[in-house]
Amino acid sequence: MGLLIRILANSGAIFIADRVVPGFIFKGNFTDLLIAGAVIGAINALIKPLLKLLSFPVILLTLGLFNIIINIFLLVLAANLLPSLRIYGISAAFWGVVILSLANQLVTHLIKNRE
């Protein structure tokens, strides 16, 4: 159940970022939106922990700010894998990451409170 909620949260965040952030473009239907949410969730679950482990010294030196760079990289990676998602510019990637992070934090908070 939690996986489905996370995919829906990622999909909703992509939809919101498409509407709010200039340069963050999603062109696709509802199925494409769910696939994009699943791809971003899979990238965050599989690649992000490895990148955080490898870049731990840099994360420590920057007091955690390097996590933003990792998240932007992963979002751009997802955009390169998904033909329906395009990100033009570092600003669009940054604000897209902010929206996705807020959505994921909200879902994590809600899931922990249900248990």
Residue 57 lies in a domain: yes
Q: What is the largest CA-CA distance in the chain?
A: 42
Q: Which of 63, 91, 58 is nearest to 76 (CA)?
A: 91
Residue 33 lies in a domain: yes
Q: For 107-115, which contacts have Cβ atoms below 8 Å and span 24 or more sequence positions?
A: 107/5, 107/6, 107/9, 110/5, 111/2, 111/5
Residue 105 lies in a domain: yes
C-alpha span between 14 and 111 (Å, rounded): 20
Residue 78 lies in a domain: yes
The range of the structural domain enclosing residue 38 comes to 2-109
For the chain, the domain total comes to 1
Give the model's pLDDT for residue 115: 65
Residue 74 lies in a domain: yes
Residue 14 lies in a domain: yes
> What's the pTM?
0.90
Residue 34 lies in a domain: yes
Q: What are phi and psi of 82, to 5 degrees?
A: -105, 120
pLDDT tens sequence for the chain (115 residues): 678 888 999 999 999 999 999 999 999 999 999 999 999 999 999 999 999 999 999 999 999 999 999 999 999 999 999 999 999 999 999 999 999 999 999 988 988 877 6
- Rounded to the nearest 10 degrees, how much is the dihedral formed by the CA atoms of 95, 11, 46, 3? 140
Residue 115 lies in a domain: no
Residues 52, 67: contact at Cβ < 8 Å?
yes
